[in-house]
Amino acid sequence: MEEMTFEAAMKRLEEIAALLESGRQPLDEAMALFEEGVKLTGYCTKKLEQAQQKILKLTSQAEKGENE
């Protein structure tokens, strides 16, 4: 998967969900969309985990600075 922003990945996930919910795609296309959605979900989860770790690190550093 090419590198994209979290926001772009979420937008694409919304598009995929709408397409799948419409039920208008042939089975092969629906399966391809589902697979893309699974990959995007993993990508978004990874980005959120990275952001969470960064926030934890920054808040920990800030707390250490306050205690000194």
CA 44 to CA 4: how far, in whole Å? 10
Write down the pLDDT at residue 3: 81
CB-based contacts of 1: which residues, under 8 Å, 6+ apart?
39, 40, 43
Write down the pLDDT at residue 25: 95
CA 16 to CA 20: how far, in whole Å? 6
- Render pLDDT for 9-65 as a digit per residue (tens, 0 to 9): 999 999 999 999 999 999 999 999 999 999 999 999 999 999 999 999 999 888 777
Identify the structural domains of the chain with CATH numbers, from first to last. 6-67 (1.10.287)
